[in-house]
């Protein structure tokens, strides 16, 4: 009846509790919760705390257990407005030049002592697919990207921010698939050709996506700021369907 | 009762197959075997000291859905899966490549839905825990999305900035001229041709093989056509007088004129229209021109991906003014009201005229006066959000590209077959089987010249 053997060692690292009258809120770094409506992984990290369902029990209800729910608490301040402005300028430039999309990776410093943690952004090497025509490159709605070194050892890759060109800001199926397992904040910017672009934000934990209010994760877009000069050279157009591979030496990698 | 107190009975029941050392590590909260796992914003300390990276990867994949192809770094240094983790180390998994886009992926796992093999009876879990049996939680993440395909090198030919000579090397072009062979002759009789090489013998072949060989040579430069924007395929017949064109238009929400639901008239004067913003998948128009003008042979289809080959399938649309015709077209598109002559235009202008008319002319019920013939009425069978234009527009507002994800009904013929059938209506491809066919083709060419 129980189809898959879970690696035995998991029992040694996370406790398992049931959702009954003795249940108390998360008081360890991570635990499994067995509830009337399924099994949840609850955890707390320096950047978020969350409960996500790790398997569903179809139509099951057990006497004596309470149902549990997925939840998220963010421990991240909004991305600084300077970074938001740089990102928008970058996306706008890419759109004006190629008519396509682009991506930046979000990095977050781990808190240490009293020193405030910082955000960082960087452009990974990226290829937008499309076709060449008489008037230039016509980008398709697809973008492959590579990895990018962290700004420093104290940073973690905390998500991504990418554009949909002049299209709407939302998380497409491609985006959703890409972000599975990429725990962190994932932002889509749309209407980059407009004076006021659109934003959509999700926080991903495992395979669960939480929609988060944009104002909670992005500072307001203020004065325009030029992106760092090394970002744009990492964007390249390519014909045909681009798979997420990058030509050796064709596009510079992050320093 | 505290959390720690409550945990104890469950821990006694947990994992009888777990190595005693590992169990002790957890129960005693022994920090010395801890390894810090990083994966994106995921940070957890786990008792993985002494385990390999491969074992940690398996665990991280199961618990946190970490990409199985992610690169492993220990204390900032890239390591192999065989690396044994030491106490207090930091293991980070970094996803190497990714893919974004306002585009539906080419491949997607079907909706997993309720899967009896993956559901479990929670009472059994509790019973197992209480009875001291091994706890085998099916905690593998549900509905795992398909991993992005393995890396593939970009081909040199994909780069339009690299010229052919540059790719091949300027001096490397071979001299393809054939040296004359003294005494070689060719005779064509009936459906056969025979060549002779004097005393050295010769060979024979069928006339249709000759025709195929000549076609393989390719056309001369004066017959080449530069495809206008949006055109994926152009095929000539009848010395170029008849041209079949496949136009592909990108998906997304588009603003179109659509007959008002309250319009009393189906078409013509007095018909009322409204502007609608509707989600479309890839739209494929197949049009046959003769002497530069429409031939009334034009069809409209949908696709959820761009065309890749002549064998790709087509799908029926949910458009008004598009319906099966009485003379064999599966999805005839009405372009009757298209203004002006097209023959005087360039191909670029001609295609623009067709696509502009397609999007700018309002859709009405001219095909549905007696009965519901157009594909619009079958939209609700594809998806409830297409039951009527209002629902379609509402769904577009909620999800502008939702039409890319719908199970459109497949048409019976591929794009290549469809175009061939339409061309055959106007200018059937001559079969060159016999010497008479060959001579006829030669005479036609001489007349054309």
Please indicate, yes or no, whether residues A125 and A225 belong to a single structural domain of this protein. yes
Alpha-carbon gap, residue A140 to B50, rounded angstroms: 47
- CA-nearest residue to A172 within chain B is B102
Residue B267 confidence class, pLDDT cut points 50, 70, 90:
confident
Q: Is residue A23 part of a domain?
A: yes
A247 part of a folded domain: no
Residue A248: is its pLDDT beyond 50? no
Nearest by CB to A167, which of B19, B144, B252? B252
Which 3 state secondary structure label does DSSP give B35? strand
Q: Is A38 helix (H, G, I), strand (E, B) or coil?
A: strand
Among A49, A74, A99, the domain-final residue is A74
- Is the model's pLDDT at B447 over the cut of 70? no
Residues of chain B found within 8 Å of residue A158, distances taken between Cβ atoms: 40-41
Structure tokens at A81: 């407005």
**Domain annotation covers residue A246:** no
Count of structural domains, chain A:
2
- Residue A103 and residue A222 in one domain: yes
Whether residues A239 and B43 touch (CB distance < 8 A) is answered with no
Of B64, B54, B59, B44, which Cα lies nearest the Cα of B85?
B54
Distance from CA of B405 to the nearest CA of A (A): 9
Q: Pick from A7, A22, A143: which is nearest to B99 by CB?
A: A143
Inside any domain, residue A1: no
| Whether residue A70 is found in the same domain as residue A47 | yes
Residues of B in contact with A110 (CB under 8 A): 43
ipTM of model: 0.87
Average pLDDT of the segment spanning B42-50: 89
* Residue written as token pair 């007088």: B241
Architecture of the domain spanning B3-97+111-131:
Roll (3.10)
DSSP A178: H
Residue of A1, A2, A37, A164 best to disrupt the B interface, most CBs of B under 10 A: A2
The arithmetic mean of pLDDT across residues A190-199, rounded, is 89
Q: Which residue has the higher pLDDT, B151 or B393?
A: B393
What gap in Å lies between CA B223 and CA A103, rounded to an integer?
A: 43
Of all residues in chain B, the one with the smallest CA distance to A161 is B100
Query: What's residue A73's pLDDT?
Result: 95
- Is pLDDT above 90 for A3? no
Task: Write the Ramachandran bin of B73: left for phi over 0, alpha for psi from -120 to 50, otherwise beta.
Answer: beta
User: Which of B98, B161, B307 is best to mutate for the A interface (most A CBs within 10 A)?
Assistant: B98
Q: What is the mean pLDDT of chain B?
A: 75
Q: Are A159 and A81 a contacting pair, CB within 8 Å?
A: no
How far CA B100 is from CA of A77, A210, B103, B273, in Å, comes to 25, 18, 8, 37
Which of chain B's residues have a Cβ under 8 Å away from the Cβ of A250? 154
Q: Find the residue in A nearest to B49 (Cα).
A: A13
Size of interface A-B (CB pairs under 8 A): 313
Which residues on B lie below 8 Å from A4 (Cβ)? 118, 136, 138, 140
For residue B176 the two structure tokens come to: 């393809």
Give the dihedral sign, CA A86/A80/A244/A250.
positive
In this prediction, residue B198 carries a pLDDT of 66
Which structure tokens are listed for B419?
Answer: 């175009």
- In DSSP notation, B61-91 reads HHHH---TT-EEEETTEE--TTPBP-TT-EE
Say if B135 is an interface residue toward chain A (CB within 8 Å). yes
Tell the residue number behind the tokens 């009848």, with chain if given.
B238
Whether residue A248 is contained in a domain is answered as no
* Same-domain status, A111 and A232: yes
CA–CA gap between residue B343 and residue B220 (Å, rounded): 23
Give dist(CA B159, CA B237) in Å, integer. Answer: 31
pLDDT value of residue B142: 33
**Mean pLDDT, chain A, integer:** 83
Q: Is B118 on the interface with A (CB under 8 A)?
A: yes
Give the closest of B2, B117, B154 to A250, CB-based: B154
d(CA B406, CA B385): 10
Contact A145, B148 (CB under 8 A): no
pLDDT tier at B298, thresholds 50, 70, 90: very high
How far is A24 from A39, CA to CA, in rounded Å?
A: 16
Q: Are residues A30 and A107 in the same domain?
A: no
What is the rounded distance in angstroms from the CA atom of residue A240 to the CA atom of residue A251?
17
Say if A94 falls within a structural domain.
yes
Same domain, A119 and A67: no
B113 contact A CB<8A = no
Residues A114 and A149 in one domain: yes
- What is the pLDDT confidence band of residue B150, given thresholds at 50, 70 and 90? very low
- A49/A103 same-domain check: no
CA distance to partner chain B, nearest, from residue A124 (Å): 10
Residue whose structure tokens are 């890409």: A178
Angle in degrees, CA B167, B170, B176, rounded to 5: 100
- Given a cut of 80, is residue A157 above it in pLDDT? yes
What's the mean pLDDT in A143-162?
91
Flag if B101 and A15 touch (Cβ within 8 Å): no
More confident residue, B315 or A11: B315
* One domain for residues A172 and A156: yes
Q: Could you list the residue range(s) of the whole structural domain that residue A231 is in?
A: 81-239
How far apart CA A144 and CA A247 sit, in angstroms, is 11
pTM: 0.50
The residue extents of the domains of chain B are: 3-97+111-131, 184-217, 225-435
pLDDT digits (tens, 9 = 90+) for B69-82: 888 999 989 999 99
pLDDT value at A33 more than 60: yes
* Same domain as A139, residue A209: yes
Q: Which chain A positions have a beta carbon within 8 Å of B104's beta carbon?
A: 172-174
* Same domain membership, residue A231 and residue A118: yes
Residues B193 and B210 sit within 8 Å (Cβ to Cβ): yes
Q: Which residue in B22, B42, B106 is closest to A183 by CB distance? A: B42
Q: A102 and A146 share a domain?
A: yes
- Structural contact between residues B350 and B393, judged by C-beta atoms closer than 8 angstroms: no
């Amino acid at each position: 009846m129980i189809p898959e053997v879970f690696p035995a060692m998991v029992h040694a690292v996370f406790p398992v509790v049931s959702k009954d009258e003795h249940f108390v809120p998360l008081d360890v770094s991570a635990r499994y919760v067995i509830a009337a409506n399924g099994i949840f992984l609850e955890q707390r990290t320096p950047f978020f705390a969350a409960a996500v369902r790790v398997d569903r029990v179809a139509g099951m209800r057990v006497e004596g257990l309470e149902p549990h729910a997925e939840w998220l608490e963010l421990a991240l301040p909004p991305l600084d407005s300077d970074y938001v402005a740089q990102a928008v300028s970058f996306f706008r430039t890419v759109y004006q030049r190629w008519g396509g999309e682009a991506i930046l990776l979000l990095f977050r410093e781990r808190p240490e002592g009293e020193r405030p943690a910082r955000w960082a952004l960087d452009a990974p090497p990226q290829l937008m697919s499309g076709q060449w025509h008489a008037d230039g490159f016509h980008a398709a709605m697809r973008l492959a990207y590579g990895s990018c070194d962290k700004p420093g050892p104290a940073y973690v890759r905390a998500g991504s921010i990418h554009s949909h060109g002049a299209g709407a800001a939302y998380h497409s199926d491609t985006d959703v698939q890409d972000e599975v397992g990429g725990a962190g904040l994932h932002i889509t910017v749309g209407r980059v050709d407009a004076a006021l672009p659109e934003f959509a934000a999700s926080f991903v934990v495992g395979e669960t996506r939480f929609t988060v209010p944009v104002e909670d994760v992005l500072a307001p877009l203020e004065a325009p700021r030029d992106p760092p000069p090394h970002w744009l050279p990492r964007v390249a157009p390519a014909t045909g369907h681009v798979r997420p591979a990058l030509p050796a030496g064709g596009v510079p990698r992050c320093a | 009762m505290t959390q720690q107190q409550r945990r104890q009975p469950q821990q006694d029941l947990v994992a009888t197959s777990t190595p005693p050392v590992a169990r002790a590590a957890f129960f005693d909260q022994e920090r010395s075997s801890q390894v810090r796992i990083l994966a994106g914003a995921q940070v957890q300390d786990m008792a993985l000291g002494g385990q390999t990276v491969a074992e940690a990867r398996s665990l991280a994949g199961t618990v946190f859905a970490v990409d199985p192809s992610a690169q492993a770094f220990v204390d900032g240094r890239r390591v192999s899966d065989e690396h044994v983790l030491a106490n207090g180390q930091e293991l980070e998994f970094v996803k190497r490549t990714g893919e974004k886009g306002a585009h539906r992926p080419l491949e997607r796992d079907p909706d997993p839905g309720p899967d009896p093999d993956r559901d479990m009876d929670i009472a059994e879990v509790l019973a197992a825990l209480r009875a001291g049996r091994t706890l085998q939680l099916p905690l593998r993440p549900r509905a795992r999305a398909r991993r992005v395909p393995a890396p593939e090198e970009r081909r040199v030919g994909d780069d339009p900035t690299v010229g052919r000579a540059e790719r091949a090397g300027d001096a490397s072009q071979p001299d393809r001229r054939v040296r004359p062979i003294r005494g070689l002759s060719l005779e064509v009789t009936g459906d056969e041709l025979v060549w002779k090489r004097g005393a050295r013998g010769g060979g024979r072949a069928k006339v249709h093989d000759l025709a195929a060989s000549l076609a393989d040579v390719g056309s001369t430069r004066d017959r080449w056509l530069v495809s206008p924007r949006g055109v994926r395929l152009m095929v000539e017949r009848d010395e170029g007088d008849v041209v079949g064109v496949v136009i592909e238009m990108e998906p997304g929400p588009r603003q179109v004129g659509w007959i008002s639901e309250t319009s009393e008239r189906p078409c013509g004067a007095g018909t009322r229209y409204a502007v609608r913003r509707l989600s479309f998948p890839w739209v494929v128009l197949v049009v046959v021109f003769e002497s530069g003008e429409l031939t009334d042979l034009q069809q409209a289809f949908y696709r959820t991906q761009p065309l890749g080959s002549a064998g790709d399938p087509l799908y029926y649309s949910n458009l008004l003014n598009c319906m099966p015709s009485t003379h064999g077209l599966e999805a005839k598109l009405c372009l009757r009201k298209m203004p002006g002559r097209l023959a005087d235009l360039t191909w670029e202008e001609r295609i623009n005229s067709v696509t502009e008319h397609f999007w700018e002319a309002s859709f009405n019920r001219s095909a549905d006066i007696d009965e519901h013939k157009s594909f619009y009425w079958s939209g609700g069978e594809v998806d409830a959000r297409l039951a009527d234009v209002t629902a379609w527009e509402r769904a577009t507002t909620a999800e502008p590209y939702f039409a890319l994800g719908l199970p459109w009904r497949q048409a019976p013929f591929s794009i290549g077959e469809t175009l061939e059938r339409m061309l055959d209506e106007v200018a059937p491809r001559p079969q060159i089987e016999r010497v008479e066919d060959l001579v006829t083709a030669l005479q036609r060419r001489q007349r054309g010249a």
